Structure 1
């Protein structure tokens, strides 16, 4: 009887680790036809500034040359607090591949509707990494449904969220809408290590200065650190202790790593070892 129980237990564990390994290495994003969108609330935590620099660093690697991507700034929900102006960094990082929802939300929704429809109408899927809340995504999906009701957004638009706090400061109606009208994924929090996604919040971390080799990326990270320190905790904004200590926080990038199937990266140092060259 004891041997039978042990055998059953081993079988269960073997099945579990087989499943976990498949999940760990699953390729979700189709480079040939899909679109990657990263939406940044930029309010009131400065971690989005670091996350934008990290996104550009990742996508500058030759492995991801073919990734079709777009960024949106100012996709905040119902949270209070002051905005962190990202425009200088976003312009440097993304050139024309970004939209400013803080300056004009209606215009940004229209721009992103056109960008996403171009992908969807060619048979691709849209993957949205929520570096913030889902209110903007709800508006975007409604705009797509209004113009092209034949597109099944629940299958073709994937939203990836890692933060309980981001969900809490998304309006209840918007959160319920995106969960009903998109393929919504809640993944482990990118602020912690060892939970199945990378941990990209690292107090006191400055080794990027020796690991990043590309001159343009060096300029970008210097600007990201400068903006982060300028606005962190200022005028009632959230005080990010990792950044205040001279470290980095690009925890929202864990979602992009999950989308691209590279969530096996452990932490900030491994990220720069892999993509800083």
Structure 2
């Protein structure tokens, strides 16, 4: 077999294994934990992502899933943090922890959630709405506490090449070696195999309508965006500056929960944005 054919065979084998895993392994709403990591540094898009996620968590299909959220899971990137405690309280109630201010405490709290799920034969699905440095710390803490896990029990989903570049080299390599690491296409673009959740022309102000189920979340998300977008050297998110939507990190959630027919921002809100009863 020539070198070219061997290379093609290896590529095919890799793709086949990935696709087989993706097809066969689904999020189990009865057993699995959805771990939501948000860096909140320095882009305000996480605020939009959390508000959009609120719609999913309030839907009939997903309102009983087991989840836990973590703020401040940033890596090595420069820039200032985007405080969003009130938004986290609105959307997640007490089901979140603040790794920005209380790193060690947050690791311990998250480890307890992970251990409970693993002990009940569940899997951990991690959305990296940011970098993987915090995930490395979690994995190391699991070992430190003698909590055993296999690669197929912890699945990490990442959509952003920029996020990978802003993860320390050692942390990214460690996470890739110790988990099932899945890289999907960027959620900022449409027609690439994942939804495109970045649209400068979709007005998010309309989402503050009090007749809608996530009006409180969107009102707070918009307030955070107005206060911090591009301020004091933070990243200036142009879509949000123009009054539009950017919840690109949510594509990891739609991938994990196998949510379909949400290819665009408009599609997403048509599916999930409901009026209060």
Match of residue 120 from structure 2: 122
- Contact 2:187-2:194 at 8 Å conserved across structures: yes
1:184-263 matched pairs, under 5 angstroms: 184-206=181-203, 209=206, 215-263=212-260
Count residues with an aligned counterpart: 258
CA distance in 2, matches of 1:241, 1:262: 27
CA distance in 2, matches of 1:99, 1:47: 19
**Cα 1:105–1:24, aligned 2, differ >3 Å: closer, same or farther?**
closer
Match of residue 131 from structure 1: 129
Listed one character per residue, the Cα deviations across residues 100-138 of structure 1 (whole Å, up to 9, x for unaligned) are: 000111111111000111111100000000000000000
Match of residue 29 from structure 1: 27
**Cα 1:24–1:113, aligned 2, differ >3 Å: closer, same or farther?**
closer
Q: 1:42 aligns with which of 40, 54, 58?
A: 40
TM-score of the two chains, using structure 2 as the length reference: 0.88
User: Shift of the alpha carbon at 1:146?
Assistant: 2.0
Structure 2: runs of 5+ lacking an equivalent: 1-16
Match of residue 270 from structure 1: 267
> What RMSD in Å do the two structures reach over aligned CA positions?
2.2
- Contact 2:175-2:181 at 8 Å conserved across structures: yes
- Contact 2:208-2:219 at 8 Å conserved across structures: no
Match of residue 90 from structure 1: 88
CA distance in 2, matches of 1:93, 1:25: 30
CA distance in 2, matches of 1:188, 1:81: 25
Listed one character per residue, the Cα deviations across residues 3-53 of structure 1 (whole Å, up to 9, x for unaligned) are: xxxxxxxxxxxxxxxx99999977620111000011000000000011111
TM-score of the two chains, using structure 1 as the length reference: 0.88
